[in-house]
Amino acid sequence: MRYFIKLAYKGTDFHGWQLQPNALSVQQVVQEALQMLLKEPITILGAGRTDAGVHASQFFAHFDFDKVLNTDDLVLRLNAIFPDSVVVYTIFKVSDNAHARFDALSRTYEYRIFLGRDPFLTDTVWQLYHQQLNVEAMNKAASYLFDYADFKCFSKSKTDVKTYNCKITEAHWEQKDAHLTFTITADRFLRNMVRAVVGTLIDIGLGKNTPETMKAVIESRNRQKAGFSVPAKGLFLTKIIYPNNIFA
169: helix, strand or coil: strand
Q: Architecture of domain 2-102 in CATH? A: 2-Layer Sandwich (3.30)
196-223 confidence digits (pLDDT tens): 999 999 999 999 999 999 999 999 999 9
Catalytic residue among 13, 51, 66, 177: 51
The DSSP bridge pattern shows strands 55-64 and 45-46 to be antiparallel
Does the fold of domain 106-239 match that of domain 2-102? yes
Average pLDDT of the residues in 130-138:
92
Residue type, 167: K
Q: Kindly report the average pLDDT of the chain as a whole number.
A: 95
Inter-axis angle of helices 193-205 and 213-220, to 10 degrees?
150
The answer to whether the CB of 153 falls within 8 A of the CB of 144 is no
CA–CA distance, 172 with 184 (Å, rounded to integer)? 7
Average pLDDT of the residues in 74-102:
96
Q: Architecture of domain 106-239 in CATH? A: 2-Layer Sandwich (3.30)
Q: Is pLDDT at 47 greater than 90 in this prediction?
A: yes
Q: Is pLDDT at 246 greater than 90 in this prediction?
A: no
For 78, other C-beta atoms within 10 Å of its C-beta total: 21
183: helix, strand or coil: strand
10-32 confidence digits (pLDDT tens): 999 999 999 988 899 999 999 99
97-127 confidence digits (pLDDT tens): 999 999 999 999 999 999 999 999 999 999 9
Best CA proximity match to 112, nearest among 237, 236, 234, 238 = 234
Q: Is pLDDT at 135 greater than 90 in this prediction?
A: yes
Average pLDDT of the residues in 122-141:
94
Q: Is pLDDT at 235 greater than 90 in this prediction?
A: yes
- List the domain boundaries for the chain: 2-102, 106-239
Q: Which helix (H) or strand (E) holds 186?
A: strand 179-186
The answer to whether the CB of 185 falls within 8 A of the CB of 168 is yes
CA–CA distance, 206 with 19 (Å, rounded to integer)? 37
Q: Is pLDDT at 157 greater than 70 in this prediction?
A: yes
How high is the pLDDT of residue 62?
97
Best CA proximity match to 97, nearest among 58, 66, 62 = 62
More confident position, 244 or 187: 187
How high is the pLDDT of residue 162?
86
pLDDT level of residue 248 (50, 70, 90 thresholds): low
Q: Is 123 a catalytic residue?
A: no
